Structure 1
Amino acid sequence: MSGWAQKRFWKEVSVVQTEDGFAVELDGRRVKTPAKAPLAVPTRAMAEAIAAEWDAQTESVDPGTMPCTRSANAAIDKVTHQHSEVAAMLAEYGDSDLLCYRADAPAELTLRQAQEWDPALDWAAEALGVRLQPRTGILHQPQEAAALAALAEQVHAMTPFQLAAFHDLVGISGSLILGFAAAQGWRSADELWLLSRLDERWQEEQWGVDEDAQAAAEVKRQEFLHAKRFYDFS
């Protein structure tokens, strides 16, 4: 029925420890995922964040105000059952990483890309044991197979909850390296978001700000910040 929304039926929200992690209960009844699986998360901090979202609901339940609940549902209902496929898809970003595709002109842009993106590649070389090589132009030039395999191994090692968050860190930024940098706290999520938007920021400086594009970017920024927060909970 169009316009239907679930009504709040509970008075008390609580977090309980269970055999499979931490659960959220509504008046003593355990919250379940959309696929009817018990909602069990790995840490109390994550469960408390989810509980706070449920407790904040008023007369009608608004899923748009429950990002931690949505991420936990995705981890349980989707990523757990497709872990290898999700990890492989994200690892593929390493072969076309945003940080490696550089402009050949103008000089000011190429200099800024080097100044802002090279430190991230340097960090990855030390922290991840892999150095991806920058390319000039838009044509695909493969990275070394050994480097990609090393990155893929680290992606596949993530838990379903980590991978659910990592999916957004990588997909929104367009960079496997920035996804790892966010997950491992190389810089703040806001700083890494700005790195991922270097080309867009350059365009805005040259041609001015498009309000619609700016509004869409802000939505993505909030999603990126949430993904980092959810990863930290895991």
Structure 2
Amino acid sequence: MLEKTSYVEPHPPFPQGVCFKIVPTMTYRLATSLLRHPPTSPATVVRRLGLMSRGWERKRFYKEVSVYKTEEGYGVLLDHRKLRTPRRELLVLPTEPLALAVAGEWASQASLLQPSIMYLTSLCNTVQDNPHDRSRSSTVETILPHLHTDTVLYRQEEQEDLFALQSKEWDPLVNWFNQRFCTKLQPSASLDPPSLPPPLLSSVSLYLSQLDNWTLQGFWYAVQSCHSVIITSALMEGHLNVDSAVNLSRLEIRHQIDHWGSVEWQHDVEHQDLRSRLATSHLVAQLANWTI
């Protein structure tokens, strides 16, 4: 039954004892390729990327993946089954390119399904199901406090080499943000949060409230992933690409790796997972508003 196999969003629990092998480069490559060359069918997505998946001990239950038109938008078919969300609602995507991207994610699954790396389907499920029952205004109010703890606003003067690196790579981003939102935000070199002038909060709040729901949820997903409203804004506005956003958000980790070396499994997985999450956020925002 579709209801037993279509869940990919983390808010329902996974079966006890199931283990996952994370291969997040799949979603990153999918997002990058689709933004450059909009897909024409799920099959072309799979052929183009040569995606492989393996690791979750559940067999693929469908052969063909396709997209169908509805009155509200577009849906995804797994053979004759219509893809549903964790709340058992039919998944409805606002544009055909986004539906094709989700279909491509399902088509990329090989003999074993891996919901843990299906970031795109997971985010789309979250947008539609709204598992936390948040209103748009509530989502905006949830995002704004993250400016107080934004990664790029906290500097460590006691480590001169790290402080120099932070200034070199983060200052241009803060300058861009100040120009974009007509403010004079300054980083903090102490544990005290930076001062946020009320006009800034009003400006960012207005910006967020004008985003469509898919872009707003993608924005929030990215903020949760990289812990930075500033980096997310630059990504969504096209000032940064995904790789640049990842590198800026992991600046301190990069500095540690340069000095102490990399823990291959941990650091590599964290890096690729963040790439996939930010790529997914950007992809949903772009394809949900795609016009031909």
TM-score, shorter chain, exceeding 0.5: yes
- What TM-score, normalized to structure 2? 0.71
Question: Would the aligned equivalents of 2:153 and 2:194 in 1 still touch at CA under 8 Å?
Answer: no
Structure 2 residue aligned with 1:223: 277
Structure 2 residue aligned with 1:94: 147
Q: Percent identity?
A: 28
Question: Would the aligned equivalents of 2:65 and 2:106 in 1 still touch at CA under 8 Å?
Answer: yes
Size of the aligned set, in residue pairs, is 234
Deviation per CA, 1:98-137, whole angstroms, max 9, x where unpaired?
1111112233322221221111112112333344221111
Question: Would the aligned equivalents of 2:62 and 2:79 in 1 still touch at CA under 8 Å?
Answer: yes
Structure 1 residue aligned with 2:222: 169
Q: List runs of 5+ in structure 1 lacking aligned partners.
A: none
Q: 1:166 to 1:9 in 2, by over 3 A?
A: same
* Equivalent of residue 75 in structure 2, options 20, 23, 42: 23
Aligned partners of 1:130 and 1:37: how far apart in 2? 43
* Equivalent of residue 35 in structure 1, options 80, 83, 87: 87
Q: Which amino acid aligns with 1:90?
A: I
Match status 1:233 vs 2:287: yes
Q: Deviation of residue 151 (structure 1)?
A: 0.9
Structure 2 residue aligned with 1:71: 123
Q: Deviation of residue 148 (structure 1)?
A: 1.4
Q: List runs of 5+ in structure 2 lacking aligned partners.
A: 1-14, 19-56
Q: Which deviates further from its counterpart, 82-91 or 58-67?
A: 58-67
Q: Which deviates further from its counterpart, 134-143 or 46-55?
A: 134-143
Instruction: Tell me which protein shows more strand as a share of its residues.
Output: 1
Q: 1:62 to 1:213 in 2, by over 3 A?
A: closer
- What TM-score, normalized to structure 1? 0.87
Instruction: Tell me which protein shows more helix as a share of its residues.
Output: 1
* Equivalent of residue 235 in structure 2, options 182, 190, 201: 182
* DSSP-derived class of the 2:68 partner: strand
Q: Give me the CA root mean square deviation.
A: 2.4
Structure 2 residue aligned with 1:57: 109
Q: Deviation of residue 216 (structure 1)?
A: 4.2
Aligned partners of 2:249 and 2:122: how far apart in 1? 24
Deviation per CA, 1:84-110, whole angstroms, max 9, x where unpaired?
323221121112221111112233322
Question: Would the aligned equivalents of 2:65 and 2:77 in 1 still touch at CA under 8 Å?
Answer: yes
Aligned partners of 2:225 and 2:158: how far apart in 1? 25
* DSSP-derived class of the 1:57 partner: coil
Task: Determine which structure has greater relative contact order: mean sequence separation of CA pairs < 8 Å that are 6+ residues apart, divided by chain length.
Answer: 2
Structure 1 residue aligned with 2:205: 152
* DSSP-derived class of the 1:231 partner: helix
Question: Would the aligned equivalents of 1:104 and 1:136 in 2 still touch at CA under 8 Å?
Answer: yes
Question: Would the aligned equivalents of 2:181 and 2:200 in 1 still touch at CA under 8 Å?
Answer: no
